[in-house]
Every structure is written in structure tokens, then in C-alpha cells.
Amino acid sequence: MFAAENGLRGDPRLKGISEAIRVVPNFPKPGIMFQDITAVVSNHKVFKDTVDIFVDRYRDMGISVVAGVEARGFIFAPAIALAIGAKFIPLRKPGKLPGEVISELYELEYGNDCLEMHLGAVQHGERALVIDDIVATGGTLSAAIRLLERAGAEVVECACVIGLREVEGRRRLDGKPLYILVEPRQDSS
Ligand SMILES: O=P(O)(O)OC[C@H]1O[C@H](OP(=O)(O)OP(=O)(O)O)[C@H](O)[C@@H]1O
Ligand SMILES: Nc1ncnc2[nH]cnc12
């Protein structure tokens, strides 16, 4: 669901976040309208607003694990974890974690990839939140959900800064709630 339809209608912070997103056409491949969040986080107010919105939503939901998806989920997830008193765990691209891992393959808008999580990173029954910068097809989030569930965690929600209204991959999220702050930008004006 979109933040604007869930208590934050007309909230000027959402407009600020949306306006800070820069669209880069044809990156990294022709046809992709790349949503660049670097200016969201280089503006202190906009970055703080983004984290605050998530923290306000998740602080009383009994969440003990905030899982961030490499790479851009790492920008937001640790700040949220610290603020709500949860642990942060990284879901990493293949070959980056030194310990024993479990892996999940998934398809991207522009290729295939794999996510890994350390065995023992979460305990059975823990309540987890998954954070990323953007949901496009939903393939990445669905892989993250599978990893956490294989480890016995309960995925309470997935949350992204940017997401399409009709996330085609919503079905791939297996019914898990998805919380999105703003829609993708069509241009940077
Ligand atoms: O909903 P999906 O179609 O799965 O796409 C969303 C994912 O794609 C991007 O990551 P990317 O794989 O490009 O990696 P990066 O963060 O390392 O650049 C983005 O940060 C999300 O993780
Ligand atoms: N259009 C897009 N912009 C930024 N990151 C993405 N990941 C998948 N699709 C993307």
C-alpha cells in the first residue's frame, strides 16, 4: 500500500521525497527509467523524513529484525533498525558473506541475481521487516522473503521508498504486505 493512502495523505514529506528522486533514462540498460535515490539521502531533511516515516510505522509492531537488501537497502535499513530497537541483517549478493549461507535465486528487470543470508542470522519465530529502495518486478523482495521464511522468521511487511502502483510482482510477494512511500518518477522536472 502507498503511504499517501494510509494516513499520510497530503504529507509534504512525501512530495519532498518524490521530488528528490532523479530519473536517468536508459540506465543501466536501454528502456530502463532508473530511479536514482542519491539525492534523497544527500539532502539531510529528505533522508531524515524518509527514515522517520518508516520508524513511525514500525516502532510498535514487535519487529526484532530489519533485513536490508544489498546494496541500496543498506542505506535505509540500519537507520530504521537502530531507531526501532531491532537488529539489522544484510541480505547480500553472492560470495560476500564469509559464514555459512542460504541462497535464493531471482529474476530482475535487467537480469538474474541471487541473495544470500548467514545461517543463524535470525531465530525461529522472529518478526522481520524487509527494506529496499525500490520494488520493480518484486523478484528481489520475494527472494528476501523466501530466505527469511526458510530460516523460520515471520515476515511482517516489506517496505520500499519507491514502487509502482501495480507492482506486477505483488503476487510474487506471496501475500505479504508491501508499504511504499512514493511512485516512480517519469521525469526529473
Ligand atoms: O523488484 P525488482 O525487479 O527485483 O528490482 C528491485 C531491485 O533492483 C535494484 O537492485 P539491483 O539488483 O539493481 O542491485 P544494486 O542495489 O546492487 O544496484 C533495487 O535496489 C532493488 O533491490
Ligand atoms: N527502474 C529502476 N530504477 C532503480 N532501480 C531499479 N531496480 C529495478 N528497477 C529499477
Walk me through the domains of the chain, giving residue ranges and CATH numbers: 3-182 (3.40.50.2020)
What is the spatial distance between Cα 139 and Cα 173, in angstroms, rounded to a whole number?
Answer: 8
Note down pLDDT in tens along the chain; length 189 residues: 899 998 999 999 999 999 999 999 999 889 889 999 999 999 999 999 999 999 999 999 999 999 999 999 999 999 999 999 999 999 999 999 999 999 999 987 767 999 999 999 999 999 999 999 999 889 999 999 999 999 999 999 999 999 987 765 566 687 899 999 999 999 855
- Residue 71 CA: which ligand is closest? 1
Q: pTM (2 decimals)?
A: 0.96
Alpha helices (H) in the chain, listed in sequence order:
12-20, 38-42, 44-58, 73-84, 139-150
ipTM over 0.95: yes
Element (H, E) at 154: strand 154-163
Looking at residue 132, its pLDDT comes to 98
**Is the shortest distance between the CB of 137 and ligand 2 below 6 Å?**
no
To test ligand 2's pocket by mutation, which of 29, 33, 35 has the most ligand atoms within 8 angstroms of CB? 35
**Is the shortest distance between the CB of 69 and ligand 1 below 6 Å?**
yes
CA proximity to 102, closest of 127, 89, 85, 120: 120
Looking at residue 111, its pLDDT comes to 78
Cell (9 digits) for 91: 541480505
What radius of gyration do the chain's Cα atoms show? 16
Looking at residue 137, its pLDDT comes to 86
What is the spatial distance between Cα 47 and Cα 75, in angstroms, rounded to a whole number?
Answer: 10
> Which atom number of ligand 1 is nearest to the Cα of residue 109?
3
CA of 140 to the centre of ligand 1 (A): 7
- Residue 74 CA: which ligand is closest? 1
Looking at residue 167, its pLDDT comes to 63
> Which atom number of ligand 2 is nearest to the Cα of residue 133?
5
**Is the shortest distance between the CB of 114 and ligand 1 below 6 Å?**
no
What is the spatial distance between Cα 143 and Cα 169, in angstroms, rounded to a whole number?
Answer: 11
> Which atom number of ligand 2 is nearest to the Cα of residue 72?
5
Contacts (Cβ under 8 Å, ≥6 apart) of 119: 99, 100, 101, 102, 151
Looking at residue 166, its pLDDT comes to 73
